[in-house]
């Protein structure tokens, strides 16, 4: 049995990803995000670090009223509206993909699940719960993030990787 690299199998156009798989992946991502945030809110005091890997990784419950890196802080309504728009666009894109483009659905499923996970926070709480604090011995800190943010970043990477594997569609007669 030949072992294939996981990225190759996830982005292989000959291994189609169904619409059902796309929806399940988005739902699982969203549920994992919401469960992790519920645990953080219940068990972690706000802004108090809990070291996981001393000097490198902490759990730290923070609230974020902005987007990535706290961009657009305080504009929750605008960010929620943008999340709804992006979610609809992603769902339509994934649904319309043909058989040769189905590998792209994996990345889009992760992006959609993450976007909806953060959207639920914005609508329900007015902010997003973040809790993963990666840093280099308190000298350099990456912005604190959550499971949804991770899924969005991984999904974008997989989507980009998969998009390079597909040849552009040929134009048919009469199309511009």
Q: For the purposes of burial, counting CB atoms within 10 Å of the CB of 144, is it exposed (0-12), middle (13-18) or buried (19 or more)?
A: buried
DSSP track, 24-63: HHHHHHHHHHHHHHHHHHHHS-BT--EEEETTTEEEEEEE
Residue 110: closest CA among 12, 37, 17, 29: 29
Locus of tokens 């043909």: 98
Catalytic residues: 130, 149
DSSP track, 116-174: HHHHHHHHHHSSEEEEEEEEETTTEEPPPB-HHHHHHHHHHHHHHHHHTTSPPPPPPTT
């Amino acid at each position: 049995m030949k072992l294939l690299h996981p990225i190759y199998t996830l982005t292989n156009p000959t291994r189609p990803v169904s619409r059902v798989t796309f929806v399940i992946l988005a739902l699982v991502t969203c549920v994992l995000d919401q469960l992790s945030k519920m645990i953080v809110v219940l068990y972690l005091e706000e802004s108090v670090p809990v070291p996981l890997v001393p000097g490198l990784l902490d759990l730290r419950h923070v609230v974020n009223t902005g987007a990535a890196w706290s961009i657009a802080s305080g504009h929750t309504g605008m960010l929620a509206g943008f999340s709804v728009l992006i979610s609809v666009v992603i769902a339509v894109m994934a649904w319309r993909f043909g058989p040769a483009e189905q590998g792209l659905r994996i990345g889009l499923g992760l992006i959609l699940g993450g976007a909806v996970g953060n959207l639920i926070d914005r609508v329900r709480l007015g902010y997003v719960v973040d809790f993963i604090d990666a840093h280099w011995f308190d000298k350099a800190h990456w912005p604190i993030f959550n499971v949804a943010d991770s899924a969005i970043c991984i999904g974008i990477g997989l989507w980009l990787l998969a998009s390079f594997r597909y040849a552009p569609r040929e134009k048919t007669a009469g199309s511009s």
